[in-house]
Amino acid sequence: MAAAGGAAAEPQLEPPRRGPAEGEEAAAAELAAELAARRSAEARRLVLSPRRLWGPLPAGLSQWFPALEVLDVSGTGLAELGEELLALPRLHTLLAKNNRLGGPGSLPKALGQAPLSRSLRVLNLSGNRFAELPPALLGLRGLQSLSLGGNRLHGIPPDIQELRSLEFLYLGGNFITSIPPELANLPSLSSLVLCDNKIQSIPPQLAQLHSLRSLSLHNNLLTYLPREILNLVHLEELSLRGNPLVVRFVRDLTYNPPSLQELAGRTIKTRNVPYAPSDLPENLVRYLSLASNCPNPKCGGVYFDSCVRQIKFVDFCGKYRIPLMHYLCSPECSSPCSSASQSSTSQSESDSEDEASVAARRMQKVLLG
């Protein structure tokens, strides 16, 4: 429509806009041209500037940078890394934080069979979209540091025990609800970060991580710790803040009476009834070998499947009291009904605190607040 008193205004022409696919293709082409121009036979480190890519890594990357040892593609928007990654046999550090990785094909399937599986030492995939630990990672037998924080993980696969060289494991900021006992089969693990998850209990097997120096468990759903945690002789830092750790003595006397088989087994063990393997069926011999001693020093009893769970507080660093789980052979070991049992309970508490004070001298930092 003509403007009053003048000629009609000419329409303003806007430059054509690129669609999402066009934009990603253009960004990939631009990156490939940039890398080709920067090619270097000696370059050992390459950092890609943040941009909106989809992936995979540009074909020819391994030819342009054959000596590459450190590759940082963080914040580039990659949704897949692609097969080109497998052609970097010297790569020992891969940083791919804050991208869109996590869907099918995000990582090359042959990752665990390529030469990269022996050379890669550090892998950081934090801030992506993984809902489970990618199976391809379990073949990286030389991996020493793995970070998958801030993803969408709901669990830890038992096969993580295959990463025998792992020293640092960061899985904070996910939705993990439990820890598999197999995690204890990582002999070199020195730092374990499981903060900001939904973990409710710690398996006692974690006490087998004899190299562990730092354990971060803050902001979970823990109400107690297994007493075996005192066996982590090299532990220097334990972070527990933000957990619903109970603030007073709590005793859980839920107790299922022992079976006739367990009663018989307890009698044999406590009275030292002699027997030879040839005297009993193989399954009963194996059963008798599974007896656990009651921690009450004045009891001297044993248990198999039937026991009383009891939470006791022990001192750490002379300042904090941490709830640890005890397993007793019967309610009488914790019941205050008789003076004898009171004495046993008191002695058990005293022993627990003595045991904790030894651990306190090893523990440098306990973070509860």
Q: In the 8-state DSSP scheme, what is residue 259?
A: P
Give residue 262's pLDDT. 87
Task: Give percent helix, percent strand, percent coil of the chain, each to the nearest 5.
Answer: 30, 15, 55
CA-derived radius of gyration, the chain: 29
CA 362 to the chain's CA centroid:
23
C-alpha distances in angstroms, 229 versus 6, 21, 50?
87, 53, 43
32/36 Cα distance (integer angstroms): 6
Buried b (16+ CB within 10 A) or exposed e, 184-208: bbbeebbbbbbbbbebebbbbbbbb
Contact between 309 and 327 under an 8 Å Cβ cutoff? The reply is: yes
Contacts of 265 (CB under 8 A, 6+ apart): 287, 288, 291, 302, 304
Give residue 311's pLDDT. 66
Give residue 23's pLDDT. 55
- Residue 264: closest CA among 309, 304, 300: 304
105/82 Cα distance (integer angstroms): 8
Q: In the 8-state DSSP scheme, what is residue 207?
A: G
Domain locations in the chain as residue ranges:
24-239, 252-318
How would DSSP label each residue in 226-258?
A: EGGGGG-TT--EEE-TTS---SS-EE----PPP
The number of helices, as runs of H, and strands, as runs of E, in the chain is 6, 16
How would DSSP label each residue in 129-149?
A: --SS--GGGGG-TT--EEE-T
168 membership: H or E segment, kind and range: strand 168-170
Fold of 24-239: 3.80.10
Tens of pLDDT, residue by residue, the chain (369 residues): 444 444 444 433 333 334 345 555 666 666 666 777 677 778 899 998 776 676 788 888 888 899 999 999 999 889 999 999 999 999 999 999 999 999 998 999 898 888 888 999 999 999 999 999 999 999 999 999 999 999 999 999 999 999 999 999 999 999 999 999 999 999 999 999 999 999 999 999 999 999 999 999 999 999 888 888 888 888 889 898 888 874 333 344 456 788 889 888 898 888 889 988 888 888 888 899 988 888 887 888 888 888 877 666 666 555 556 667 777 888 777 644 333 333 333 444 444 444 444 444 444 455 554
Contacts of 120 (CB under 8 A, 6+ apart): 91, 92, 93, 94, 140, 142, 143
Determine the 3-state secondary structure of 287 from DSSP.
Answer: helix
